[in-house]
Amino acid sequence: MVKNVILFASGNGSNVAAILSHCKNISDIHFPVIVTNNPKAGVIQLAKENGIDVLLINKAIFDSAVFLDTLERYQPSLLVLAGFLWRVPAYLIEAFPKQIINIHPALLPKYGGKGMYGHHVHEAVIANAEKQSGITIHMVNKEYDEGTILLQKKVDITPTDTAQTLASKVLALEHEWYVQVIRNLLQV
């Protein structure tokens, strides 16, 4: 049976690109729509190239339960946050229990929470002279970055690493592992 996955992204969209490219030939996964809050998000172009609808939302839409009707029309098995920066409202978490996942570019519970996203995370990790960082893929609950952890992968930090080089190492892990977790959860 085909499983519908709704992707949410706010930024460059490299994770979305990796997921779409990996799943191109998997007929049991369908991506009916990509949701973004950013009219300049890289996923808008990606969606066009892949023939996927885009839903451009604002905070008022996201926080209103009417948005639930829109999402339910796609009958999603999974909601995948891939660099999506807004906290998910309670009504969505209640409507899709254990069906919303997020990827975070550090080893939670360290370097998580409000304001900890993208380069801010890597800058804090480097400033604290950590020896390792990595990725965390987790279920989404009502608090930022606090849902059940599904997978973590580590990467070593060398003395010459900067926030930027660390970001590239971490993104490479994200691109490799997020799709594996998605496939595991969907069993496809």
Give the residue among 110, 113, 105 at the shortest CA–CA distance from 175: 105
Residues numbered 153 to 182 that lie near ligand GAR (CB under 6 A) are 171, 174
> Are the C-beta atoms of residues 133 and 153 closer than 8 Å to each other?
no
Given 22, 30, 104, 175, which residue is catalytic? 104
Q: Which is nearer to ligand GAR, 135 or 185 (CB)?
A: 135
**Binding residue for ligand GAR, selected from 19, 103, 140, 185, defined by CB under 6 A:** 103
Q: Which tokens hold the place of 59? A: 């905070």
Q: Which tokens hold the place of 95? A: 């409507």
Q: Which is nearer to ligand GAR, 72 or 138 (CB)?
A: 138
Q: Cα dihedral angle (139, 88, 76, 146), rounded to 10 degrees? A: 0
**Does 105 help bind ligand GAR (rule: CB under 6 A)?**
yes
Q: Which is nearer to ligand GAR, 21 or 28 (CB)?
A: 21
**Binding residue for ligand GAR, selected from 31, 67, 117, 177, defined by CB under 6 A:** 117
Q: Identify residue 71 by its one-letter amino acid code.
A: L
Angle between the N-to-C axes of helices 42-49 and 14-23, in degrees from 0 to 180, rounded to the nearest 10: 20
Q: Give every CB contact of residue 131 below 8 A, 6+ residues apart in sequence.
A: 156, 157
**Does 89 help bind ligand GAR (rule: CB under 6 A)?**
no
Q: For ligand GAR, which stretch binds (CB under 6 A), given 10-18, 28-36, 63-71, 123-131?
A: 10-18
Residue with structure tokens 């490219």? Answer: 21
Q: Which is nearer to ligand GAR, 33 or 106 (CB)?
A: 106
Show the binding pattern over residues 14-33: x = contacts ligand GAR (CB under 6 A), - = does not.
xx------------------
Q: How far apart are CA 88 and CA 63, in angstroms?
A: 8
Q: Would you call 175 a catalytic residue per the annotation?
A: no
Q: Give every CB contact of residue 14 below 8 A, 6+ residues apart in sequence.
A: 42, 83, 171, 174, 175
Give the residue among 77, 60, 61, 88 at the shortest CA–CA distance from 146: 88
Q: For ligand GAR, which stretch binds (CB under 6 A), given 61-69, 88-96, 116-124, 147-155?
A: 116-124
**Does 118 help bind ligand GAR (rule: CB under 6 A)?**
yes
Residues with a known catalytic role: 104
Kindly list the residues in this chain that would bind ligand GAR in the complex (CB under 6 A).
9, 11-15, 82-83, 103-105, 117-118, 121, 171, 174
